[in-house]
Amino acid sequence: MKNPLHRRILRELKRDFAKYIILFVFMVSIIGFISGFFVAAKSIEVVYDAGFEKHNIEDGNFEYYEKASEEAIETIEKEDVTVYENFYIERETDNFESKLRLYKNRTEVDRVCLMEGAFPVGENEVAIDRMYADNNEIAVGDTIIYDGTKLIVSGLVALSDYSSLFADTSSMMFDAMKFGVGVMSEEGFENLGEEGMHYNYSWTYNEKPADKMQEKEMSEDLLEVLAENGIMTNFIPQYLNQAIVFTDEDMGSDRIMFSGFLYIVIAIIAFIFAVTTSNTIAKEATVIGTLRASGYTKGEIIRHYITLPVAVTLLSAVVGNVLGYTVFLEVAKGIYYTNYSLPTFELLFNPDAFLRTTIVPVILMIAINYFIIAGKLKLSPMKFLRRDLSTRQKKKAFKLNTKIGIMKRFRLRIIFQNMPNYLTLVFGIFFANVIMILGMAFPALMERHQEIISENIVSSYQYILKAEAETETEGAEKYATTTLVTTVEGRKEEGVSLYGVDTGSQYVDIDFEKEEVYISSAFSEKYGYVKGDTITLKEEFDNGTYDFKVAGVYEYPVSIAVFMPRDYFNEVFDFEEGYFNGYFSNKKIEDIDDMLIAATITEDDINKMSRQLSNSMGGVFDIFYVFGLVMFALIIFLLSKLVIEKNAQSISMTKILGYSNREISGLYILTTSIVVIASFILTMPLVDKLMEIVIVVMLSDYAGWIPYYIPMEAFFKISLAGIAVYAVIAWMQFGKVKKVPLDVALKTVE
């Protein structure tokens, strides 16, 4: 025989249809978005990994000062490698600010994926990177003025060796706005001439290395042979090529954050369901007592009450996953393709996404609801029949001071009687505020970071040289530099710039003692080092380490850096006395051959990270802000509605006693308003502290440091938006107060 309790499920759904449909739509949205994100991430990861073999991505590249002879190439290939000519020309564009690196179209190594349009055929045609084109609003058919030469964009492509648009390995961050790559036909490439030509060669191993250590050893052996067969100006094995490996290291690192975000949202919704059900249990106490006395087990009643929440969650997960593979997939795919220059997308089924977005949320919903509802149903049938749902022996109300006004005492009673609802409300507001602050803080953080760089940059130009060279540029100051990596346990290795500067430097204002080392404020803040600590740094692919005792912290929030006297620097790294390999200068140095300059660092270069993050992640954080506001409105609406429904009898009684709807609203709606406003005010400091932790964790894998900063304006805007939303909800709840009939108080006899 069918369980008669099942007949009540549809009636309960109809009675609270508005609540269930709102929660359904909300869960579909969040599950759909995160499912789409997981599906896109896994599909792109598979495409990326397959691309190494499909597109024959290089194992490294090197550059000679001039074109290598056939004999030199033959000698190099005896090292069990295949060498490919991969020359490129790099010049500036005239109709917008950027540098464009052009290759001949590749057919053997680092093959190119056509995304839109066609490969270049004519001498004035070019196919450029799709992400670079999007960021600079260039479409197929547009014209680029390339150092005076007009080129027509025939197509948009993805170069397999530039999944992240790093101009060089020393860059802190790729920059897809001011640096791009592209390909031309052989005829078109040759017509560009020799200016800006780089004699670059790519190699692949005939037998692939087993791991990174073997790859390092093989590349070092190859380096010796390369140096014997030409004047080298660049050498980048694959494991050091940020343009290739950064995507793999960075992609998918935020899945844990999105999973945690989903589970917190589901937990809050589960608590809302549980609190709502607890209210229903209180209203149906006599019915439950009768059922228990008639032989129904506690388990059967629990299953009845959790059926709807679980069914709604399961249906939301199914619909959300369908949308995740369709509508939301495009959103998530857009996020990845805004950050990375990837080949054509191929959709793949992701079982892990189904587990994370369907199975786990359903289990979470069952667990939370079962725990809370089981606690409510542990009373005896007799207690339910008597409507005595207290688990305590003492049933006296909490005594309030009689000096407190009657209306204030009434409001306090409302808060005490609805404590579970209001606690859920406070937690929900806190979490919604975190999401909204995250959405508003990130753009402000990036903007502030750019201001900090402008205010604290050492010099307008920092030159790193391949070999010592003198200059007559006024104000230019020599320094020595190298890069080591951190050795902090549990943290990703990060490059640290070490500067050997002269005592009395006009650019670095530190009064050094002979062997003192100062760290930048960015280094101190990111890793917690202070004066007196010892830091250990090491070569990236070597067992050798260096220990330095921190003599002080230098105010330099621009990068992770260590400063020391140049004499001490040369002593530590075994260089000759007076050695230098760089210049600080506020003027552009023009009397040193470009071939002797390894890198030029300007304010614009240091701003790459904040500029790229703002460009690629700005839209995501707009979504966070809107989602947080919707979540805030949802929680306020459902729980304030529940407070009024739970107190319907008391509201009806006050109406019988002659109180007006406005006066009653002053009790119930105003009480909720006080809790909402107090929650806003009291949770903001906690939100601020939590956000500081969240931002640090989010950016910890990125090179460098972005100091935490949220303007007071952001908190003000969130509070204003929250109050505006609550005003609408309060007006809706006033309508519910007006609809409470007078006979409710007379129908229920305690």
**CA nearest neighbour of 707 among 418, 446, 423, 376:** 446
Pairwise CA distance, residues 103 & 113, whole Å:
14
pLDDT category at 429 given cuts 50, 70, 90 is confident
Q: How many CA atoms lie within 13 A of 83 on its CB side?
A: 23
- Residue 318 belongs to a domain: no
Give the other-Cβ count within 10 Å of 204's Cβ: 18
Contact yes or no for 233/61 (Cβ under 8 A): no
- The verdict on 519 and 614 lying in the same domain is no
- The verdict on 575 and 664 lying in the same domain is no
What are the pLDDT digits (tens) for 79-92? 899 999 999 999 98
Q: Which of 551, 571, 591 marks a domain boundary?
A: 591
Residues in the chain: 750
454 has pLDDT over 50: yes
Q: At what angle do helices 648-656 and 661-699 cross, to 10 degrees?
A: 150
- Residue 705 belongs to a domain: yes
Q: How far is CA 641 from CA 376, 411, 736, in A?
A: 21, 16, 8
Pairwise CA distance, residues 40 & 493, whole Å:
28
pLDDT (0 to 100) of residue 117: 92
- Over its C-alpha atoms, the chain yields an Rg (Å, rounded) of 33
- The verdict on 436 and 503 lying in the same domain is no
Pairwise CA distance, residues 153 & 126, whole Å:
5
- The verdict on 489 and 614 lying in the same domain is no
pLDDT (0 to 100) of residue 612: 58
pLDDT category at 683 given cuts 50, 70, 90 is confident
Contacts of 326 (CB under 8 A, 6+ apart): none
Burial of 267 (0-12, 13-18, 19+ CB in 10 A): middle
- The verdict on 509 and 540 lying in the same domain is yes
Hey, what amino acid is at 563? Answer: F
pLDDT (0 to 100) of residue 169: 65
Pairwise CA distance, residues 229 & 233, whole Å:
12
- The verdict on 523 and 612 lying in the same domain is no
Token pair 């948009």 is at which residue?
156
Q: Are strands 534-538 and 545-554 parallel, antiparallel or unpaired?
A: antiparallel
Give the other-Cβ count within 10 Å of 650's Cβ: 19
- The verdict on 711 and 628 lying in the same domain is yes
- Residue 363 belongs to a domain: no
Q: Are strands 149-159 and 125-129 parallel, antiparallel or unpaired?
A: parallel
Contacts of 633 (CB under 8 A, 6+ apart): 725, 729
What are the pLDDT digits (tens) for 272-284? 788 778 777 877 7
- The verdict on 733 and 653 lying in the same domain is yes
pLDDT (0 to 100) of residue 477: 93
1 has pLDDT over 50: no
Q: Which of 591, 625, 648 marks a domain boundary?
A: 591
pLDDT (0 to 100) of residue 580: 92
Could you give the angle at the alpha carbon of 333 between the alpha carbons of 330 and 337, nearest 5°? 130
* Dihedral sign for Cα atoms in the order 560, 565, 569, 575: positive
Contact yes or no for 175/110 (Cβ under 8 A): no
pLDDT category at 728 given cuts 50, 70, 90 is confident
- 60's torsion region: left (phi>0), alpha (psi -120 to 50) or beta? left
What are the pLDDT digits (tens) for 482-513? 888 888 877 777 788 899 999 889 999 888 87
The continuous run of DSSP H or E covering 629 comes out as: helix 608-646
Report, as an integer, the average pLDDT of 183-203: 90
Alpha helix segments (H runs only) across 340-405: 351-354, 360-376, 381-385
100 has pLDDT over 80: yes
* 3-class state of residue 281 by DSSP: helix
388 has pLDDT over 90: no
Hey, what amino acid is at 555? Answer: E
* 3-class state of residue 102 by DSSP: strand
- For 362-391, letters b (16+ CB in 10 Å) and e give bebbbebbbebbeebbebebebbbeeeeee
Q: How far is CA 740 from CA 636, 646, 743, in A?
A: 20, 11, 9
pLDDT higher at 71 or 438: 71
pLDDT category at 605 given cuts 50, 70, 90 is low
Domain that holds residue 528: 470-591
Mean pLDDT of the chain: 81
- Residue 421 belongs to a domain: yes
Pairwise CA distance, residues 422 & 420, whole Å:
6
Hey, what amino acid is at 440? Answer: M
717 has pLDDT over 90: no
- Residue 440 belongs to a domain: yes
- Residue 58 belongs to a domain: no
- Residue 290 belongs to a domain: no
Q: How many domains does the chain have?
A: 3
227 has pLDDT over 90: no
Q: Which of 230, 253, 276 marks a domain boundary?
A: 230
DSSP 491: S
- Residue 510 belongs to a domain: yes
- The verdict on 569 and 667 lying in the same domain is no
Contact yes or no for 278/373 (Cβ under 8 A): yes
Pairwise CA distance, residues 56 & 674, whole Å:
65
What are the pLDDT digits (tens) for 51-81? 888 889 999 999 988 899 999 999 999 989 9
Q: What is the pTM of this model?
A: 0.69
pLDDT (0 to 100) of residue 566: 92
Pairwise CA distance, residues 186 & 272, whole Å:
65
pLDDT category at 314 given cuts 50, 70, 90 is very high
Report, as an integer, the average pLDDT of 123-143: 91
pLDDT (0 to 100) of residue 251: 62
Percent of the chain with pLDDT over 90: 20
Pairwise CA distance, residues 478 & 575, whole Å:
15
Pairwise CA distance, residues 352 & 29, whole Å:
19
- The verdict on 181 and 89 lying in the same domain is yes
pLDDT category at 203 given cuts 50, 70, 90 is very high
**CA nearest neighbour of 430 among 636, 275, 708:** 636
- The verdict on 542 and 669 lying in the same domain is no
- The verdict on 503 and 568 lying in the same domain is yes
